[in-house]
Structure 1
Amino acid sequence: MDLRVSTLFVMLTYCFWYGDARNYDQTLTVANGGGWGEWAQPALCKEGYVKGFALKVESYQGSLAWNDDTGLNGIRLYCDNDETVTSKIGEWGSWRKPEYCPKGHLTSFSLQVEPSQGAIYDDTAANNIKFVCNEGFVLTGEAHDWGKFGFWSEPCSSGAICGLQTKIEDSQGSGDDTALNDVRFFCCK
């Protein structure tokens, strides 16, 4: 009996603390995400779906050997109710202008990732993202063109994207920083 009460307390505390008590039906992933960093807490729209997004991008730092580019640092989602949600965000760069589906919602994505450049070269990992809207429009982020776009995720089988979870590498001090490495999106009915 005590174990069930303790488990219930932990679950309720988690839902209260993170506010993500909404259930999602499907997780969208891609295979080409970068390997550095840790997965952060998910973030979900309280209701409805995602109609647009904006990217936090560090501008090009120059061609000198000690300049360290990170590329993509964060993704902000715009929900139907004008709420914005983010998972963890890297510390570099600035927010670019939002992109919106003309009438619908985001349903699938493709991530542009630069593979590892080796021990002595600058790694950036994720650099841009594209989304498909349920009415067929493709939205491409305003970011770098380093690396290649991978295959599209599967689309939401019903409903649309309602949240995300990012994989972020924290600052490496004097080491090579990459910031956002991978992302997964959640679909709600």
Structure 2
Amino acid sequence: MDLSTSAVVFLFLTYHLSEAGDRSYNSILIVPNGGEWGEWGKIESCPKGHAYGFSLKTERKRGLTGDDTSLNGIRLHCSSGAVVQSTVGPWGEWTEVKECPRGYLVAFTLNVESRKGPADDTAANNIQFSCGDGVILEGESPTFGTYGQWSKRCPAGAICGIQTKVEAPAPGDSTALNDVRFFCCD
């Protein structure tokens, strides 16, 4: 993504923050390696507080027996006791919650498999989060791709909102979750 495209994306996201509910955000965390398929879901946020942990909806490897989708959903577990998620794919099971030992989630990196052409595409496969104290948490998901660069850290506060890009079920080859954005609150 070049600088002018990044600026347009930033302005677009900043303009549309008012659609995200009653929370005000101080920044949006993105990574450049998200998958290309799907539609962005609704922004969902912790009603108050910040995300101290997460869980994933993942489909185990199917290999030669079917279509692999791997990562289908991400849930944020909030200090207020709420659990929030944006759009989620239909396959898989939810993993146990991964929690920061102290503090909250402040940055992330996404594991994504590049386009496979006529082969089985999976897009996003796993995620790692950095806690405010530097502890790294990694999801439990079949991994077909590679991790890209880390997002920026929340400049103040921590992650409090999520928006996912998910491809709807398609005949033949579905990818489910492709990309994610996180929102930081003071």
TM-score (norm. length: structure 1): 0.87
The code of the aligned residue for 1:53 comes to: F
Give per-residue Cα distances to partners, 1:28-80, cap 9 Å, x unaligned: 0000000000000000001010000000001111225xx10101000000000
Structure 1 position 140 matched with structure 2 position 138: yes
Picking from 144, 148, 156, the partner of 2:154 is 156
TM-score (norm. length: structure 2): 0.88
Tell me the equivalent position of 2:14. none
Show structure 2 runs of 5+ residues with no match: 1-17
- Tell me, in whole angstroms, the C-alpha distance in 2 between the residues paired with 1:163 and 1:129: 16
- Tell me, in whole angstroms, the C-alpha distance in 1 between the residues paired with 2:129 and 2:123: 18
- Tell me, in whole angstroms, the C-alpha distance in 2 between the residues paired with 1:136 and 1:32: 22
Does the residue aligned with 1:63 lie in a helix, a strand or coil?
A: helix
* Matched length: 169
Tell me the equivalent position of 2:7. none
Q: Give aligned-pair identity as a percent.
A: 50
CA RMSD, aligned part only? 1.3
Tell me the equivalent position of 1:69. 68
- Tell me, in whole angstroms, the C-alpha distance in 1 between the residues paired with 2:51 and 2:88: 18
Runs of 4+ in 1 over 6 A off after TM superposition: none
The code of the aligned residue for 1:165 comes to: Q
Tell me the equivalent position of 1:7. none
Q: Decide whether the 8 Å contact of 1:20 with 1:46 is kept in 2.
A: no
Tell me the equivalent position of 2:39. 38
Tell me the equivalent position of 2:173. 176
In the TM superposition, what is the alpha-carbon distance from 1:105 to its structure 2 partner?
0.1
In the TM superposition, what is the alpha-carbon distance from 1:103 to its structure 2 partner?
1.1
Tell me the equivalent position of 1:20. 21
Picking from 147, 164, 170, the partner of 1:166 is 164
Q: Decide whether the 8 Å contact of 1:114 with 1:127 is kept in 2.
A: yes
Tell me the equivalent position of 1:103. 102
